[in-house]
Amino acid sequence: MLQTLFTKTSELAEFKAVHHDDAVLVLPFIDEELARRLADVLVRRALHPGLVVLIEDDRRLGFIKTANAICSRSSSRYFGYLAQDVFPSDGWLQAALSIMDATGNGLLAFNDGRFHGTLAVFGLARRAWLKKLYHHFVFFPGYQSHYGDTELSAIAIHQNTLVYNPGCVMLEVDYEKHTKGNNPEDKALFEQRMAQGFGGLI
């Protein structure tokens, strides 16, 4: 059965490292009521053991710093990242682990209903692959709020290690998404890093 663990970014100093043999996933949130409702759905529909760390960003560190903090404080074969605006299909984790085990690929892009496997907005990564990129982090730490997943996906595509299974559904449910812009500093950093091959990774 999928397990859940709730914590806060204000409590990271006291956060003890967690382990799961198969998968640890991070889910940063700011809406506690929504996160707790989502946690129940994630558990019921996972159909495979794992651990989801739901972390309230009460210090407003941002998604990337929060996800990296949990990645560096956990161990497992795979590490994944979700957000409070997801809604999963039945067997989402079972299907994700099955295709990752079968292919040996580095990054799974969940079917978010928008990018169709070209961008891992929500993803599951093989830790052995991640360590070759950012050591103990899941995203390049220079980004503030955007483009971490874009860089990760671009590297995986270039290395031919991105996998997509339409049955691994993690829909993004955000009715105001079209009204939100990206961080211009993050965009500039992404373009700079891309021109330089993301620090020699591609």
Q: Judge whether residue 97 has pLDDT over 90.
A: yes
Q: Where are the domains of the chain?
A: 2-200
pLDDT over 90, % of the chain: 92
Q: What pLDDT is attached to residue 177?
A: 65
Q: Give the E-state strand segments of 49-161 in sequence order.
A: 50-56, 74-75, 78-81, 86-88, 107-111, 123-126
In which band, very low, low, confident or very high, does the pLDDT at 181 lie, cut at 50, 70 and 90? low
**Structure confidence at residue 180 (pLDDT):** 63
Higher confidence at residue 44 or residue 202?
44
Give the C-alpha separation, 111 to 155, whole Å.
19
Is domain 2-200 in CATH 2.40.30.10, yes or no?
A: no
Q: Which run of H or of E encompasses 46?
A: helix 32-46
Averaged pLDDT of the chain: 95
What tokens does 8 get?
A: 């806060």
For residue 31 the two structure tokens come to 């809406």
Asked whether the predicted pLDDT for residue 179 surpasses 80, the reply is: no
Residue 67 parent element (H or E): helix 63-72
User: Which one has a higher pLDDT value, 177 or 162?
Assistant: 162
